[in-house]
């Protein structure tokens, strides 16, 4: 199997390295517009293979010939946030970049599954769906796993327990309006509200919503990439191993949760066909209304897209 990663910046390079290290596929192709950069990074990663002990081949390119026949394509190309910027501030420039990238990707890999990473995520996933003309189960966005991982990591810190025992679900758009669902969070099967007072849960929800911004303001240059690349790799693993994981991903909604014609983070079953099912969990009035607010925000951004 082959995976291509378009955009060999922070998220792209780290994703390529993680996929190779786990030997999820036979070959990873890294593409970027900066001359020599994806070639240099992929060669450097390949030279780590004898020490790390993986056989996944890594190739770098400034073109798309090497990506031909990719099973999965991860798109991280485009601008990242700087301090003071919201994800939405990236919309116009990244729409241009993603339109061009998706045309080239689909020309060379008409059967590929696309995982969008570039922000604003829910809008760029829509651009990929429109430009590719693919069935919606083959186009998805990475956000929910990252947002959920942030939530789980903060709960682990608060309770001083292993992250492994914490399950959680974050729905909605990838932005300040995301909808963490503490009611569905558990620690080794114990509902989170039984273990933490409401004000502590509220503080964790708030920190999760601002999790990306917290990293941006600490880094000053660029945005998060360790946790984002881990989240993308988990999606690639579910697809390439056809493991039918239930993971929160940005999926094209056609009536689920009462929402239509937009990408939003929802629990999906991920396997070799891409999104094999969208799961609908019961939401109370407050959660449904928060999801609607998030959807309204994504919709207002979609109106700014000019394809």
Strands 139-141 and 113-116: parallel
Tokens of 168: 């959680």
User: Quick one: 121 or 196, whose CB is closer to ligand NAD?
Assistant: 121
Tokens of 266: 């929802």
Other CB atoms within 10 Å distance of the CB of residue 130: 14
Q: Catalytic: 174?
A: yes
Q: Least distance from C-beta 118 to ligand NAD, angstroms?
A: 4
- Dist CA 5 CA 125 (whole Å): 15
Q: Least distance from C-beta 110 to ligand NAD, angstroms?
A: 19
Give contact residues for ligand NAD (rule: CB under 6 A): 6-12, 31-34, 76-81, 90, 94, 97, 100-101, 117-119, 121, 142-143, 146, 174, 222-225, 228
User: Quick one: 104 or 183, whose CB is closer to ligand NAD?
Assistant: 104
User: Quick one: 225 or 257, whose CB is closer to ligand NAD?
Assistant: 225
Q: Would you put residue 78 in left (φ > 0), alpha (ψ -120 to 50) or beta?
A: left
Q: Least distance from C-beta 76 to ligand NAD, angstroms?
A: 4
Other CB atoms within 10 Å distance of the CB of residue 218: 9
Q: What is the dihedral of CA 129, 269, 292, 82, to 10 degrees?
A: -60
- Dist CA 202 CA 96 (whole Å): 38
User: Quick one: 196 or 239, whose CB is closer to ligand NAD?
Assistant: 239
Residue from 10, 137, 174, 297 carrying the catalytic annotation: 174
- Dist CA 80 CA 95 (whole Å): 13
Q: Least distance from C-beta 127 to ligand NAD, angstroms?
A: 12
User: Quick one: 52 or 100, whose CB is closer to ligand NAD?
Assistant: 100
Listed in sequence order, the DSSP H helices in 241-283 are none
Burial of 37 (0-12, 13-18, 19+ CB in 10 A): middle
- Residue 113 β-bridge partners: 72
Q: Least distance from C-beta 229 to ligand NAD, angstroms?
A: 8
Q: Which residue is nearest to ligand NAD (CB)?
A: 9
Query: Which residues are marked as active site?
Result: 174
């Amino acid at each position: 199997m082959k995976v291509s990663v378009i955009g060999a910046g922070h998220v792209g390079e780290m994703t390529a390295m993680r996929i190779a290290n786990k030997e999820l596929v036979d070959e990873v192709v890294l593409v970027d517009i900066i001359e020599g950069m994806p070639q240099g990074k992929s060669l450097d990663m390949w030279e780590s293979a004898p020490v790390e002990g993986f056989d996944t081949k890594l190739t770098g390119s400034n073109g798309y010939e090497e990506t031909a026949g990719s099973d999965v394509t991860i798109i991280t190309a485009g601008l990242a946030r700087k301090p003071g910027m919201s994800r939405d501030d990236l919309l116009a420039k990244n729409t241009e970049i993603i339109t061009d990238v998706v045309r080239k990707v689909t020309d060379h890999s008409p059967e590929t599954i696309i995982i969008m990473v570039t922000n604003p995520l829910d809008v760029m996933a829509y651009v990929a769906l429109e430009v590719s003309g693919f069935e919606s189960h083959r186009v998805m966005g990475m956000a929910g796993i990252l947002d959920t991982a942030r939530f789980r990591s903060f709960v682990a810190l608060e309770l001083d327990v292993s992250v492994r025992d914490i399950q959680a679900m974050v729905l909605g758009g990838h932005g300040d309006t995301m909808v963490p669902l503490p009611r569905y969070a558990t620690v080794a099967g114990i509902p989170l509200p039984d273990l933490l007072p409401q004000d502590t849960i509220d503080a964790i929800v708030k920190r999760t919503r601002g999790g990306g911004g917290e990293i941006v303001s600490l880094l000053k240059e660029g945005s998060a990439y360790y946790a984002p690349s881990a989240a993308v790799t988990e999606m690639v693993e579910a697809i390439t191993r056809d493991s039918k994981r239930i993971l929160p991903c940005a999926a094209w909604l056609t009536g689920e949760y009462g929402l239509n014609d937009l990408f939003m983070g929802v629990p999906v079953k991920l396997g070799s066909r891409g999104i094999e099912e969208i799961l609908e969990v019961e939401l109370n009035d407050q959660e449904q209304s928060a999801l609607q607010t998030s959807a309204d925000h994504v919709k207002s951004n979609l109106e700014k897209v000019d394809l």
